[in-house]
Amino acid sequence: MRLHVSLFLSAWVLMRKIEKILALLRTGGVRALARTLFRRLVFKRWRSVVFVDDMSADHPPVEWPAGYKYQLYPKTTDLTSDEHSALEAMNASGFVAELGAADGLYVVWYGREVASYGAIMCGTRQHSVLGLNVRAPLVGLCGTVRAHRKRGLYSRALVLTARELGAQGHKAVFVEVLEDNEASIAGIMKAGFIKWRVVDAQIYLGRFVRRDGHWHWVRSHSCP
Domain ranges for the chain: 44-217
| 87-141 per-position pLDDT tens digit | 888 776 677 777 777 789 999 999 999 999 999 998 888 888 898 888 899 999 9
Contact (CB, 8 A) for 177 and 185:
yes
Position 193 scores a pLDDT of 94
Q: Does residue 34 or residue 217 have the better pLDDT? A: 217
> pLDDT, tens digit, for every residue of 60-80?
788 999 999 999 999 888 989
Alpha-carbon span 113 to 99, nearest angstrom: 21
- The percentage of residues in the chain with a pLDDT greater than 70, rounded to a whole number, is 75
Residue 99 gets which letter from DSSP?
Answer: S
Q: Classify residue 182 by its DSSP letter.
A: H
Q: Is the pLDDT of residue 35 over 80?
A: no
CATH number assigned to the domain covering 44-217: 3.40.630.30
Nearest to 183 by CA among 132, 149, 219: 149
CB 96 within 8 A of CB 105: yes
Interatomic CA distance for residues 212 and 205, integer angstroms: 19
> CA 211, 194, 135, 91 torsion: positive or negative?
negative
State the DSSP code for 43.
Answer: E
Which range (53-62, 82-91, 213-222) has the least confidence?
213-222
Confidence of residue 10 (pLDDT cuts 50, 70, 90): very low
Note the pLDDT tens digit of each residue in 169-197: 888 999 999 989 999 999 999 999 999 99
Per-residue model confidence (pLDDT) at position 34: 62
User: Residue 3 pLDDT > 60, yes or no?
Assistant: no
- Quote the CA–CA distance of 16 and 27 in Å, as a whole number: 16
Residue 157 has pLDDT above 60, yes or no: yes
| Confidence at residue 93, expressed as pLDDT on a 0 to 100 scale | 66
CA 27 to chain centre: 29
Mean pLDDT, the chain, integer: 81
φ, ψ of residue 155 to 5 degrees: the values are -65, -40
* Cβ neighbours, 10 Å, residue 176: 23
pTM summary value: 0.76
pLDDT grade, residue 13 (50/70/90)?
Answer: very low
Residue 179's contacts (CB-CB under 8 Å, 6 or more residues apart) are 47, 48, 49, 198
The Cα 159–Cα 61 span in angstroms is: 9
Does position 165 have pLDDT exceeding 80, yes or no?
yes
In angstroms, the CA 104 to CA 176 distance is 16
